[in-house]
Amino acid sequence: MANVAVIGAQWGDEGKGKIVDWLSERADVICRFQGGHNAGHTLVIDGEVYKLHALPSGVVRGGKLSVIGNGVVLDPWHLVQEIETIRAQGVDITPETLMIAENTPLILPFHGELDRAREGQNSVAKIGTTGRGIGPAYEDKVGRRVIRVADLGDDATLMLRVDRALVHHNALRAGLGLEPVDRDGLIAQLKEIAPKILPYAAPVWKVLNERRRAGHRILFEGAQGALLDIDFGTYPYVTSSNVIAGQAATGVGIGPGAVDYVLGIVKAYTTRVGEGPFPTELHDGDGQRLGERGHEFGTTTGRKRRCGWFDAALVRQTCVTSGVNGIALTKLDVLDGFETLKICVGYDLDGTMLDYLPTAADQQARCVPVYEEMPGWTESTEGARSWADLPAAAIKYVRRIEELIACPVALLSTSPEREDTILVTDPFSD
């Protein structure tokens, strides 16, 4: 049985939540493999809106196992609150339906404080973080001083881990003008939250191996987008983890051969939240129209997203770095009514044509997008569920995107509703 990894192929906010939820009907296990609760997925199911941040999108479907993998950094207090919120909407979440890897790193209150203090005092160039502690938690993970889920089960280990972390953090806090962390208060908080988290803890790597051998279909769910990848994104305006598909394996403890198909989620135009380069960004009426029609506000932060034309050069780039087999094109309906559409096919860098975005920040800043224009359409594509429902100009636009990014469209989404989806190729098919 095929196992599928889903990644965002732009700067996030591509509509992964709906696509993962749609695919989860065909899956037995749904795994989050990176990121933190800075990610936000909005699902609309039978008119009910679910907003998820830490929980995998599969939790809203009954009979599935949802997994938070070790590649995630987890705020335990936020998770408990999110579970309570989703339960209040009628979704049953138990240790039988939700599993957390024992080696998952925890986001602690001082991580968020450090994140916000740094961003507030950075007069050189703000990164545009959500201030939720994701970056500092990943720093502690690679610095070998993070507290992990399994540590909550033993007081002696927990105190040792806390002391190790505070040696580092209290020195940092002094430099930023912050008071030292209240050690005893933090330990008391962790002991209080532990019994609410530990029932979900499990050796995820072992469980997934057993499920795979039993022929169960596994769906790997990424957060953010590949252009925010710590290595291949627009550094330093990136997230603190690897977002590309290769992380699906290490983020849950399963071999790379277990990922049979990579599905890249791509918006029919381009958006970005926060700081950083954005070659096709629009500051005119077209950009405003895209934002208003697409309801472009962040699920997590409520921040307005920057909007621009579709950038085929960037998506082609992320399809290569993630080994994307097919894309799910979302929000096609937002383009309804535009007389002319533009697609970025490359960049002019000081008179030289490039078909990719260079790594050097100064070169990125000098890249001028080269556009190809296509006629738009006046008919509505909202709610279309077959190719026959689409205007000819919309089909031509989709086909041209396929050509430019050298990757086929597997799914086409035409509204936030789960069933308003055109299936071209089932990623789970062998």
* Active-site residue list: 13, 41
Task: Please state, in angstroms and as integers, the Cα–Cα distance from residue 396 to each residue in 73, 298, 329, 373, 377, following that order.
Answer: 41, 30, 14, 12, 11
Q: Half-sphere exposure (CA, 13 Å, Cβ side) for 423?
A: 11
Which of 339, 414, 331, 330 has the alpha carbon at shortest distance from 376? 339
Q: Looking up tokens 């961003």, which residue turns up?
A: 119
Residue 202: Cβ within 10 Å count: 17
Provide the 10 A C-beta neighbour count for residue 127.
17
CB 327 within 8 A of CB 407: yes
Which ranges constitute the DSSP H helices of 215-256? Answer: 247-250
Q: How many CB atoms lie within 10 A of CB 425?
A: 14
Three-state secondary-structure class, residue 298 = coil
398 near 406, Cβ under 8 Å?
no
Encoded tokens for 172: 């940092």
DSSP tag of 267: E
* Residue 317 to residue 176: CA distance in whole angstroms: 39
User: For the chain, how big is the Rg over CA atoms in Å?
Assistant: 22
Closest-CA residue to 45 (of 91, 99, 82)? 91
- Cβ atoms of 208 and 3 closer than 8 Å: no
Tokens encoding 189:
């908080």
A 10 A CB-CB count for 366 gives 12
